[in-house]
Amino acid sequence: MNQITKVIGSAKQPDEKKILTLLKIDKEEKKFVSISSAENLHAINTIQRFSSLCSILEVCKFVKNDTKRDTSFNDFKNLYLDEMINGLYDLRMLGSSFESAQTLMYLINGSVRGISGYVKRLIDAIRITLKKNDLKAAKTKIVLSWTLDTNEMRGDKLEMLNSIASKLRDYIGDVETSTGSVDLFHQDKVTIVVACSSGDYKEIKENLKDDNTFVIKANPLCEI
């Protein structure tokens, strides 16, 4: 869901040909616009993306377990939390920019709540896994697997990772956050691993050799 911008905001009219040659990284033509136009276009793209995403997240709440294998849902199965929250910081900042615009604030706040609601549902999926398999909290370890750039300037993802871990620790003491390779060998405990990106899920599947491990995909369907 990362999109390369098609416009570039500029305070003054630059020498477009020279700069565009330096900035060209794909075949799509870019153009210079005013700063305010670039900001408004970015706002439209951000709100539009999260509105669409939250529609997926909300409807997927009602998808029953016996229909999750339907190939119609394949596009959503490969959409992980890592992608979902790209631009979340920008969305929240837009909430401060359009405070007097009721309809816009409805869309922005609804999207923020939609992401929060999804995180709650992901945590519920972990709790359901414990209950259905009669797992005791004291004998269970949870690993949140999310490979991140810890030096990222905005830090949205690291903040989200720590927030989920904190909420899980309210009822399970042994919660580990992994921003790199995951150690899945915990002989004394059952392990529940939450794959927060497609890359993490792939690595988990390649290294998984223990039947005493449950894997939850942090996608709209919260597949277990």
The residue that leads in pLDDT, 59 or 98, is 59
Q: Give which of 215, 167, 166 is closest to 195, Cα–Cα.
A: 215
Asked whether 220 and 76 are in contact (CB, 8 A), the reply is: yes
How would you write 105-142 as a 3-class SS string?
HHHHHHHHHHHHHHHHHHHHHHHHHHHHCCCCHHHEEE
The pLDDT value given to residue 99: 73
pLDDT band at residue 18, thresholds of 50, 70 and 90? low
Q: Give which of 23, 18, 25, 21 is closest to 8, Cα–Cα.
A: 23
Other Cβ atoms closer than 10 A to 112: 17
Of all residues in the chain, what percent carry a pLDDT higher than 70?
A: 80
pLDDT at 65 over 80: no
The pLDDT value given to residue 144: 94
Using left for φ > 0, alpha for ψ between -120 and 50, and beta otherwise, residue 39 falls in alpha
**Kind and range of the H or E run holding 213:** strand 213-217
Asked whether 192 and 164 are in contact (CB, 8 A), the reply is: no
pLDDT band at residue 1, thresholds of 50, 70 and 90? very low
